[in-house]
Structure 1
Amino acid sequence: MYPLEKGFPEGFLWGGATAACQIEGAYDVDGRSLSTSDIHRYEPGLNRKELVENEHTRASLAAALKDQEAYFPKRHGNDFYHRYKEDIRLMKEMGFNAFRLSIAWPRIFPQGDEAQPNEAGLAFYDKVIAEVIANGMEPIVTMLHYDIPLNIVALGGFKNPQVIDYMVHYGETLLKRYAGKVKYWIPFNQINLIQYCGFKSLGLVTDGSDNFEEAQYQAIHHQFLINAKLKEIAKSLDSENQIGIMLADCTFAPRTCKPEDVTFAMKRNRMQYFFSDVALRGAYPGSMLRYFNEQGIEVKITEADQTLLKNNTSDFLAFSYYYSRTVDAEKNTMDAADITENPYLTGNDWGWTIDPLGFYYCMSQYWDRYQKPLMVAENGFGYEDLFVDGTVHDQYRIDYLREHIKAMKEAVKDGVEVMAYLPWGPIDLVSSGTAEMSKRYGFVYVDFDDLGRGTGNRYKKDSFDWYKKVIASNGEEL
């Protein structure tokens, strides 16, 4: 018999994932400036199945900054800034041995381009990371998770090549500060999700360029260079440092077995694999260069850029998986946000389909393509929980996560090297897409509503004890 994994390996990382812009709050404390997430206002009565993209023009950005009437939930989060010790203790109680968090760039460099960091901001993360380690968890840190300082937006966002130096300086500051404490780093959250997050992740306003798509890809190229530069710096500081690239899984399935649908899905998948191809293989794929030519997109790529990318490929692939996507050659375009409903799947109130086999499929494809360790950096499902008698009976969340862990185990049995499972939002937080608190993910209920009203107290849901057993059994007791 051939030696194969029968379950999750010893030392597998079990935990959860969060983002500073969705949990911390304290947006005006200790010199922090506003970020691209801080101007995402809550829209009462929104249509949950229509994603709130929060993209901006120059005028809408200026209006949001002047708005004194609306509620901006991401400025307040779930108050992790003041309650981090309590939250980390709850994670320890569940048995976490890993915790993915992000650091807010505007806490460290409020304008994004300063020469010296804000020590008050660093002092906060000194305490958080120390608390994570003291409670037996491996800190996994994202450097930029949708909170670009607004001054960087004013400079043209990541389209501006000067911003390369600014973020490398920020990243190097973190690498040096937390040397020997943080091993796993993700410079950019979901680097490929530009169809929804051009403002939050690239710092671009939609009317800031004559060719917005070209501006997006130039900005992405600059992020690739930053990722490579930080890999180079990280390894020079400590050979054990690991730098990852992160995708939001956008693997597409054909709507039917018609050759046109199958081929169209393949082409759409290439558009998504492009982001990890550059970071993990070190070069732009020919299919993407052809797309640039046919669309009249000119990305400035120098020989020095090509050498940097080739010599500094990422160590692992982190990805988020929530639901699967289907495309139809007749109905859909090459726009990554343009998808077709899958009639074989059901979803939640936000239209996200439940597809554990899609989870198994996507990680299998990533492994076959790259042969690099995989980190499940996010997995979960938003629900409007019913809080009764001090808890939430969330069997639906348990069912969702159980089936996805089963699917992940099948990939492990195939020989796929999965290093961590970090479900999204272990403690309720503000939704990235809709800015709702009522779109809940956590094992812990937080008593805040969509307008920030409530005590902020934490309560264990039924899924809390379930996940505790999963971790204690290393994924055997589901």
Structure 2
Amino acid sequence: MKISLILFCLGLVLTDAAVIKQNKRFPDDFFFGTGTSAYQIEGGWDADDKGDSIWDYMTHNMPEVITDHSNGDIAADSFNNYKRDVEMMRELGLDMYRFSLSWPRILPTGVPNYVSEAGITYYNNLIDEMLKYNIQPMITLYHWDLPQKLQEMGGFMNPLIADWFEDFARIAYERFGDRVKYWITFNEGYQICYEGYDYVSKAPRLNATGVGEYLCARNLLLAHARAYHAYNNDFRPTQGGICGYTISISSAQPLNDTEEDRLALELHTQAEWAIYTDPIFSKEGGFPKELSELVAEKSANQGFPRSRLPAFSEEEKEFIKGTSDFFGVNHYGGGYVSFSLYDLENSVVPSTQDDIQVGSYAPEDWPQAASFWLKRMPRSLYIVLKRIHERYDGNVPIIVTENGWSTHAGIEDEDRVAYYRAALEGALDAMDEGVNLLGYFAWSLLDNFEWMAGYSERFGLYEVDFEDPARTRTPRKSAFIYKQIIKTRVVDHGYEPHSYVMTIDEGH
């Protein structure tokens, strides 16, 4: 990957939109990759001196909360099969590969009083194997696997998480930053904070509705800023990389073209993702204005002595503002939103949903993935990219850090092929209209432990045989289609693979 990409990520013009409009082709400097996360693929849960994560703890002590009662103890066994994973990257012709570090694999106690050299070695081996074939690593520092020891001290509800996370980030920069030039601090604040602390659909299942998410969001953003400034001040001058932040965004649209439903969309936006991005990317900084006022008013009416969404001080606003070199967006599906769709009768009070009272739905005739929450919305990725571009005045470089479609086990995945083609056409259209899109990562390289769904849902370009001790990987049709898109930089609906035998093209 050319060093010039780093400059592009920092805001230079990436490509000539007129050329894209004429040829509908991704430029040569546009990078394609795939993504994974540590707990979902690595296995080796107790290898060497690794500590427990909140997912180790939850799946071992509450297996019933996982659809198939499974866990990530072995998963795809990438801990032992990383060379095969890199071979798959070469088969696809990837420019980059996004993976996360297991915090408790590197810091078994959660803090740097003890660093696991075995854990460091594992990631060094993976990084070096990738670079051997000119595949650039993008590291996510935190993809949901908090050390259990830190959770027992409050996790993201404890303001000290900013100290703990900065310590972890500094070790990662020190040990890997001489070769890794692309960093993401946090993956998906909403899923970390709402699903993990406000609700029970992710570890640690705190279920502190109406309070947990907001406290977590505040602490997470301060932790992110600490890690960003550490890199920017102490490592970027010698390492020359970039550091960003990733959030998940659905392609919500107003149910009706009315002022009321447009307000519903704005409140939905603020509660789902702008609460995690406005403090970084907006000119004003701080949490979104309308959401902050609404939560403060409801908190007072509910008898709370202060707002359940605690504001940042002016100093904190300035500390957080601008702390990302790119906007990392994970996107899957979407739907329509309206106040009229909200189920007031079954509302939990207090809760984020009750605070905004916006409901959503997706039409029955949209294609349905294996995941209950995922339907293919027309022009979905295009809508999201344009919304980010417009919300932040068109100044922010964007990277699609996740985008994918789930199926059940099996090789046949025509619906995944259709999803990727539609998404990438939407990306081209958005770039044609001035969106500064730098790259795209398909989710996922291979089947993995799909969180609460266990192994009942599959997102991989490569199928993994979880019944085989060797965890054999087999390319699906979507792998061949994605490979052709990367090679030609064109979305060709007429292309069909001549063979289902995957080979490595010369140069990869």
Same fold, judged at TM 0.5 (above): yes
Once the two structures are superposed, the pairs formed by residues 25-104 of structure 1 within 5 Å of their partners are 25-39=43-57, 41=59, 63-64=61-62, 71-104=69-102
Q: What amino acid is the match of 1:4? A: A
Secondary structure at the counterpart of residue 74 of structure 1: coil
Per-residue deviation at 1:267? 1.7
Structure 1 match to 2:444: 425
Within 2, Cα distance between the matches of 1:406 and 1:315?
Answer: 25
Per-residue deviation at 1:355? 1.8
Instruction: Give 1:147's match in structure 2, choosing from 145, 152, 166.
Output: 145
Q: Name the CA shift for 1:257/1:300 in 2 (closer, same or farther; >3 Å).
A: closer
Per-residue deviation at 1:472? 0.6
Query: Does residue 383 of structure 1 match 2:401?
Result: no
Within 2, Cα distance between the matches of 1:250 and 1:293?
Answer: 26
Once the two structures are superposed, the pairs formed by residues 11-410 of structure 1 within 5 Å of their partners are 11-39=29-57, 41=59, 63-64=61-62, 71-193=69-191, 194-198=193-197, 205-206=205-206, 212-236=209-233, 237-239=235-237, 240-271=240-271, 272-281=273-282, 282-296=285-299, 297-299=308-310, 301-310=312-321, 312-332=322-342, 335=353, 339-343=360-364, 345-351=366-372, 352-370=374-392, 371-386=395-410, 392-410=411-429
Contact 1:255 1:326 in 2 (8 A): yes
Per-residue deviation at 1:186? 1.0
Secondary structure at the counterpart of residue 197 of structure 1: helix
Query: Does residue 4 of structure 1 match 2:29?
Result: no
Within 1, Cα distance between the matches of 2:32 and 2:64?
Answer: 42
Is there any run of 5+ residues in structure 2 with no aligned partner, and where? 1-15, 300-307, 344-351, 494-508
Secondary structure at the counterpart of residue 270 of structure 1: helix
Within 1, Cα distance between the matches of 2:211 and 2:362?
Answer: 29
Contact 1:376 1:422 in 2 (8 A): yes
Contact 1:373 1:418 in 2 (8 A): yes
Q: What amino acid is the match of 1:372? A: V
Within 2, Cα distance between the matches of 1:202 and 1:233?
Answer: 29
Within 1, Cα distance between the matches of 2:115 and 2:472?
Answer: 33
Per-residue deviation at 1:283? 2.7
Structure 2 match to 1:414: 433
Q: 213-222 or 157-166, which moves further after superposition?
A: 213-222
Contact 1:40 1:435 in 2 (8 A): no
Within 2, Cα distance between the matches of 1:355 and 1:84?
Answer: 34
Per-residue deviation at 1:331? 2.5
Per-residue deviation at 1:340? 1.9
Q: 372-381 or 352-361, which moves further after superposition?
A: 352-361
Query: Does residue 469 of structure 1 match 2:491?
Result: no
Secondary structure at the counterpart of residue 244 of structure 1: strand
Secondary structure at the counterpart of residue 99 of structure 1: strand
Per-residue deviation at 1:375? 0.9
Within 2, Cα distance between the matches of 1:150 and 1:424?
Answer: 27
Q: CA RMSD in A?
A: 2.6
Contact 2:165 2:227 in 1 (8 A): no
Q: What amino acid is the match of 2:138? A: I
Per-residue deviation at 1:182? 1.3
Contact 1:40 1:74 in 2 (8 A): no
Q: Calculate percent identity across the aligned residue pairs.
A: 24
Secondary structure at the counterpart of residue 275 of structure 1: helix
Within 2, Cα distance between the matches of 1:318 and 1:433?
Answer: 24
Q: Name the CA shift for 1:233/1:428 in 2 (closer, same or farther; >3 Å).
A: same
Contact 2:51 2:108 in 1 (8 A): yes
Secondary structure at the counterpart of residue 340 of structure 2: coil
Is there any run of 5+ residues in structure 1 with no aligned partner, and where? 42-60, 387-391
Q: Name the CA shift for 1:98/1:168 in 2 (closer, same or farther; >3 Å).
A: same
Query: In the TM superposition, what whole-angstrom CA distance separates every residue of 1:42-95 from its partner, at most 9, and x where no partner exists?
Result: xxxxxxxxxxxxxxxxxxx9x43999xx95422221001100001111111110
Q: 137-146 or 191-200, which moves further after superposition?
A: 191-200
What is the TM-score with the length of structure 2 in the denominator? 0.81
Structure 1 match to 2:501: none
Contact 2:287 2:311 in 1 (8 A): no
Q: Name the CA shift for 1:39/1:427 in 2 (closer, same or farther; >3 Å).
A: same
Q: 230-239 or 121-130, which moves further after superposition?
A: 230-239
Q: Name the CA shift for 1:268/1:328 in 2 (closer, same or farther; >3 Å).
A: same
Contact 2:185 2:228 in 1 (8 A): no
Secondary structure at the counterpart of residue 297 of structure 2: helix
Q: Name the CA shift for 1:170/1:21 in 2 (closer, same or farther; >3 Å).
A: same
Structure 1 match to 2:473: 458
Q: Name the CA shift for 1:102/1:422 in 2 (closer, same or farther; >3 Å).
A: same
Contact 2:55 2:203 in 1 (8 A): no
Query: In the TM superposition, what whole-angstrom CA distance separates every residue of 1:349-377 from its partner, at most 9, and x where no partner exists?
Result: 33311124121011111012222111111
